[in-house]
Amino acid sequence: MTTMPASVPTAVGEALTRIEGRLKVTGQARYAAEFPAPGLAYGWIVPARIARGRVRAIDIDAALALPGVLAVLHHGNAPRLTDAGDATLLVLQDDAVPHWGWPVALVVATTSEQARAAAERIHVTYDEEPHDVVFSAEHAGTYIPDHVNPAQETSTVLGDVDAALAAADVVVDATYSTPNEHNSPMEPHSATARWADGRLEVIDSNQGAFAVRQSLATLFSLDPSAVHVRSEHVGGGFGAKGTARPHVVLAAMAATVLQRPVRVTLTRQQMFSLVGYRTPTVQRVRVGADASGRLTALDHLAYSQTSRVLEFTEQTAIYARVMYAAGALRTDHRVVALDVPTPRWMRAPGEAPGSFAVESALDELAEQCGIDPVELRARNEPDVEPATGRPFSSRNLRTCFTEGARRFGWAGRDARPGVRRDGRWLLGTGTAAATYPARVTPSTATATAEADGLFTIRITASDIGTGARTALTQIAADALRVPLERVRVLIGDSDFGQAQLAGGSLGTGSWGFAITEACRALRTELDGGATVPPDGLTARADTAERVQALPALSRHSYGAQFAEVAVDLSSGEVRVRRMVGIFAVGRVVNPLTARSQLVGGMTMGLSMALHEEAILDPVFGDVVNHDLAGYHVATNADVPPIEVDWVDDADDVIPTGTKGLGEIGIVGAAAAIANAVWHATGARHRDLPIRPDRVLFS
């Protein structure tokens, strides 16, 4: 046994509570809608009440006559914007209405109540056009997109899938679907904009202040340095705050026109049409195998929808590109543009719906081959990433399954469906694999040695409730080789420079990389005898070159999901009794917040399996259940004990050794539950969510 020298600090790996936890639970941490500002005015969005057409006229006189009303912005008088590569932000620019809920005007008044009352008095007449809002894989407008989110290949082909399927001993050919799901973070989007000292000052709820700054600068034709965006505390995002959203553009517009601070906060209902959601998907999966369960063909074709405003194609079929050794492998995407709000990122875009289809199909294959589902996955472990042939930096999926099966008590499982009973409940167990890419992008950071002996780190990171601020403090403390108490990490401020946004499970690795570089540089200077001047000694890092130079490896997190469910066939109710998730996620910086992320992801997967579904009305083109009473997410009572742990997964391609774990928890969770429902009842559920009516009619 080796003992650590006392001088080597090891903050990384400590289970620390959130640094800002006390501020949050005592209400002192301010969220975007809570900052006071002298002379603050409030904007209220007037949403379109048709799904497609044009605004013929807007009558604003009655609204303007109301007390407190300062202005009504609409396409006839709003400032012109420059396209920043995201047409969902080009609001109030013309008379076109691309979907229900699109902003057609913004009322600004001295109180939010006045603005809302005035918004209700604005009379908009439309030239309505027939709309097309119903998604299906058979839609005549379906096309092959140029790429899928964010910039990945639409299709990959390896070998002859059709020939391999024709020759296979066993074939599964099944179609799966997932519905329109909404991120619904707890904190609604809010932005406050004002001009001060020649700069556009913005406080916004987002997942990346730097990206929002860049968008605003382009939209308003400003020098980027003239825009300052802050987002110190953010109440969740799940992707819905990944980049700028229309509320911040409207706030900046109004602040510019009125030359006073303006706040625009979305209502929960507005969030259903303005900030993105997960597209519905239809997925055909064909799997061919020999009698021993070795895959000879895997074919995954995914359909999804986008809007007519901006093409966004969910990368649903990329899951199969990394998962299994199949002789022939094809992955492909189709998309159709409808008169609907634009779908965007929602926790594990691509992998979350894609894993449901592939991991369900594998369970069907295990059933047909008479092979244990865990064993089936072990038999199809690839040596290199199947679609690209790239070597893995590390791949510990098998270890996850071994450990997960042990903890769950999988051994000796009776594979027969529909034979276990507890009163009126049929019981079953299921499993599924999970993966999520472990990418890293360039970021910048500074580390400052202060004259008082403390250290300040500045990085435009974002803590959307994940514990990022705390994890980054741990990383910085170790890199500086000082105790945690001497390090202060400042985030959520675009003036700190370019950095990755909080998304794609990219944060800790990308930010941690830059922070480590900056801290090491500072440490070297200090160790070399540099003296700290009164205003501090600062080292700066930009990881662009180092990220560019990283080896071309397949770098992914992996996981094994297990679930036990109870199903009442007479009522259609499904209850999850327990879940176990074992993950290989590289180095874990903070076990406490890491566990929360993984448990949260699995909970969201449960919610996806059983509850979440936005229902679009075909007549209006509006989400009917557009609030949290109608859009069901799992409640505490739905969530059973969830056991989460991780296996050793040393992978030091990047300095932090992390792989990211914000998203992988949701991947595979719905498939494990659906597979367990099959095991309980003998009925396959290929359409999510597994609602009582579907169980009753299965």
Partner 1 sequence: MREFGYDRATDVAGAIALLGADPHAHYLGGGTNLVDLMKLGVEAPTRLVDVSRLPLAGIEVLPDGGLRIGSTASNSDIAAHPDVRRRFPAVAQAVLAGASGQLRNVATAGGNLLQRTRCPYFTDVTKPCNKRVPGTGCPARDGEHHNHAILGASVQCIATHPSDFAVGLVALDARVTVQESDGPREIPLEEFYRPVGSTPERETVLGPGALITGIVLPGLPIAARSRYRKVRERASYAFAIGSIAAALHVTDGTVTEVRIALGAVASRPWRARAAERVLLGAPVGADAFADAADAELAAAQPLRDNAYKVPLMRNLIVTMLSELAEAPGR
Q: Which residues bind partner 1 (CB under 8 A)?
A: 49, 113-114, 116-117, 120, 424, 570-573, 575, 610-611, 615, 617-620, 622, 624-626, 629-630, 632, 634-638, 691-693, 696-697
- Select 286 or 691, whichever has its Cβ closest to partner 1: 691
Residue (549 or 619) nearer to partner 1, CB = 619
Longest dimension (CA), the chain: 80
Smallest distance from partner 1 to CB 60, Å: 18
> Where does residue 109 rank: exposed (0-12), middle (13-18), buried (19+ CB within 10 A)?
buried
Tell me if 621 sits within 8 A of 52, measured CB to CB. yes
User: In whole angstroms, what is the distance from residue 662 CA to residue 348 CA?
Assistant: 9
Q: Are 127 and 328 in contact (CB under 8 A)?
A: no
Least distance in angstroms from the C-beta of 629 to partner 1: 7
User: In the complex, what is the shortest distance from the CB of residue 443 to partner 1, in angstroms, rounded to a whole number?
Assistant: 40
H or E stretch covering 61: helix 61-64
Q: CA 683: distance to chain centroid?
A: 31
Residue among 517, 466, 454, 513 nearest 492 (CA)? 466
Catalytic residue among 232, 359, 612, 663: 663
Element (H, E) at 333: strand 328-338
**Separation of alpha carbons 669 and 607, rounded Å:** 9
- As measured in angstroms, the least distance from the Cβ of 616 to partner 1 is 9
| Residue type (1 letter), 214 | Q
CB of 116 to partner 1, least distance (A): 8
Question: Given the complex with partner 1, which of 573 and 687 has the nearer CB atom?
Answer: 573
Phi, psi of 142 (to 5 degrees): -65, 135
Residue 258 phi, psi (nearest 5): -90, -15
Question: Starting from the edge strand earliest in sequence, which strands make up the sheet with 487-490, in order?
Answer: 487-490, 455-458, 444-449, 537-542
529: DSSP letter:
T
DSSP character string of 237-293: -TTTTSS--HHHHHHHHHHHHHTS-EEEE--HHHHHHHS--BPPEEEEEEEEE-TTS
Among positive and negative, which fits the CA dihedral 414, 418, 422, 425? positive
Least distance from partner 1 to the Cβ atom of residue 619, Å: 6
- β-bridge partners, 284: 175, 301
CB 248 within 8 A of CB 191: yes
Q: Which amino acid appears at position 175 of this protein?
A: T
Q: How far is the CB of 686 from partner 1 (least distance, A)?
A: 18
Asked whether 508 and 516 are in contact (CB, 8 A), the reply is: no
Q: How far is the CB of 272 from partner 1 (least distance, A)?
A: 11
**Of 263 and 691, which CB lies nearer to partner 1 in the complex structure?**
691
Nearer to partner 1, 469 or 611 (CB): 611
Of 495 and 687, the one with the shorter C-beta distance to partner 1 is: 687
Choose between 52 and 213: whose C-beta lies nearer to partner 1: 52
Which CB, 332 or 568, lies closer to partner 1? 568
Closest distance of CB 154 from partner 1, Å = 33
Catalytic site residue 201?
Answer: no
Q: What does DSSP say about strands 295-307 and 328-338: parallel, antiparallel, or unpaired?
A: parallel
- Dig out the tokens for 684 from the structure: 């396959």
**Terminal alpha carbon distance of the chain:** 58
Query: Is the Cβ of residue 381 or residue 627 nearer to partner 1 in the bound state?
Result: 627
CA torsion through residues 266, 267, 270, 272, sign: positive
Catalytic residue numbers read 663
